[in-house]
Structure 1
């Protein structure tokens, strides 16, 4: 499924779930909204649960990827945190229907994959808060960073709750600046002999889930490379093209199969761009799917 078309399908399905409720929406309702047959639906999604999982991934990646970008040159750590929190608040309000649906439908209960994914994203965001707090406050916050990250998360969630009701009453940037100033006060007022409440063992379950998700994503990438190799072998192209495509895929596979080193982003992106540049139509869908998986892996790995 072409990426642009897939996005339209996911957004239409999300609106149906938001309006009618997940359980009350049938696959027939979905295919009628999409203007396709049930057979076409099952070509792309094995079930309604898988469709919901794709909707969740699409909306959360849309929210999380931009505000986890690298700090622009010349920006202070505190100013960059403020802007990223602003983007997070604005992103949630702009996807209001999805987040309200997510809360109403209790998505973790739909299936184990969605539950694990949501837990992994929670760990991803929490870890990101910890890193940003350490960048700003250094040794002052190190002992209490888990507690401060938990407070930051809790404060944000409460303001998001009010913004959902009437976004026009609030400015995301003003809230973000207000919250960051509160972080300054919190970090400045720990007693020297005060013990943190949250320690590593308290959040280990979230860390382990995030690590497991990355392991599974890597396995999916390797499986996708294997499928591409089979498709390349079946292509009616000259020997030189066969050899070059197989060599490229072997190199890509080695990047992800090496447990001792992180896949090199420039190598991975270069190989995918090379394969895509060949414009071999029978490979286009598999290449697009693999590129999406690799993008998700690299985004999660570096944040």
Structure 2
């Protein structure tokens, strides 16, 4: 990478963090680098392309090193997990880096940044899956996404808590602490054969789509959620007449949300009816959030002008 390109990316990183993406202009970055604005476009086709490369550069090195640790067969699997955890904690602490660090990011559905974030997230989840199964064996595979959620939660909260409280933290101790807890959690879910909290097929499809550079559409999310809901109803320990009643409500709900102009009142009534079966509250909540999001998009000016 040329020195000028490095300067441009360093300047962009600082401006995006301090001013926000939307408030930063290419002219700001050009002025900061002491070059003509047109020179920027020799390296980056747009501001969004510049953001993506800045963002990618901040995590590429971390995952290259993390994957090198995972490939080091001189280390025991548990030690690879400790060192990989330590590496990530070091990067998070030094860079204080997350998507939320930037303000007003370009989140347009037809833009480049959202697919890029999906690819990044998919690579991260796939890496964690490989690390945890390597450390704890294939018996964890059926529960791996639930365990990953706990693993990510611990790393995120420990890092954020110490940053907010400005409290020094020995990251090596933190990495060992996290893996010690993961030992307990992995052993527990395998021994107890706990039911999965996260739907494996949904997460797997999300990861595979992300790695392909695709995104999971709203229609696909709906399909997964309704399949999960139907399966959950089938597993209920209630009378068949109750199952038939719930399945009828699901069918009406599916038909309504697929309409060009769904009736929100009817949807709310059906969601409320299904939510009355307490075992379904979680999945109904997810469907409700997706339907609400689609309703907002439907009312947007861009949608109404189509």
Does TM-score exceed 0.5, indicating one fold?
yes
Q: C-alpha displacement at 1:184, in angstroms?
A: 0.8
Distance in 2 between residues matched to 1:87 and 1:62, nearest whole Å:
11
Deviation at 1:100, TM superposition (A): 5.8
Structure 1 unaligned runs (5+)? 214-303
Deviation at 1:10, TM superposition (A): 0.5
Secondary structure of the equivalent of 1:57? Answer: helix
For residue 23 of structure 1, give the secondary structure of its aligned residue in structure 2.
coil
Q: Which residue of 2 aligns with 1:28?
A: 27
For residues 167 and 93 of structure 1, do their structure 2 counterparts lie closer, same or farther at Cα, with a shift above 3 Å needed? Answer: farther
Specify the alignment match of 1:65 in structure 2.
Answer: 64
Which is higher, the Rg of structure 1 or of structure 2? 2
Shift of residue 83, structure 1, vs aligned partner: 0.8
1:45 maps to 44
The 1:78/1:101 distance shift into structure 2, 3 A limit, reads: closer
Aligned to 2:12: 13
What does the per-residue CA deviation read over 1:230-279, in whole Å, with 9 as the maximum and x for residues that have no partner? xxxxxxxxxxxxxxxxxxxxxxxxxxxxxxxxxxxxxxxxxxxxxxxxxx
State how 1:1-303 maps to structure 2 within 5 Å: 2-69=1-68, 70-96=70-96, 99=97, 102-105=100-103, 107=105, 109=107, 112-165=111-164, 169-190=168-189, 191-203=191-203, 204-212=205-213
What's the CA shift for 1:105? 1.6
TM-score (normalised: structure 2): 0.63
CA distance in 1 between partners of 2:130 and 2:141 (Å): 10
1:199 Cα deviation (Å)?
3.4
1:194 Cα deviation (Å)?
A: 2.6
Change (3 A) 1:18 1:192: closer
Report the TM-score when normalising by structure 1.
0.63
Instruction: Verify the 8 A CA contact 1:10 1:55 in the aligned structure 2.
Output: yes
How far does residue 108 in structure 1 lie from its aligned partner after superposition? 5.8
Give, in whole Å, the separation in 1 of the partners of 2:81 and 2:4.
34
- 82-91 or 196-205, larger mean C-alpha shift: 196-205
Do the aligned residues in 2 keep the contact of 1:16 with 1:30 (CA within 8 Å)? yes
Moved more, 142-151 or 82-91: 142-151
Runs of 4+ in 1 over 6 A off after TM superposition: none
- The whole-number CA distance in structure 2 between the counterparts of 1:18 and 1:68 is 28
CA contact (8 A) 1:141 1:187 kept: yes
Determine which structure has greater relative contact order: mean sequence separation of CA pairs < 8 Å that are 6+ residues apart, divided by chain length: 1
Cα drift, residue 145 of structure 1 = 1.3
**Residue 212 (structure 1) shift:** 2.7
Mapped partners of 1:108, 1:82: distance in 2: 35
CA distance in 2, matches of 1:86, 1:31: 37
The CA deviation string for residues 278-301 of structure 1, in whole angstroms up to 9 with x for no partner, is: xxxxxxxxxxxxxxxxxxxxxxxx
Aligned-pair RMSD on alpha carbons? 2.2
- When residues 3 and 62 of structure 1 are mapped into structure 2, their CA distance, relative to the original with a 3 A threshold, is farther
Moved more, 192-201 or 180-189: 192-201
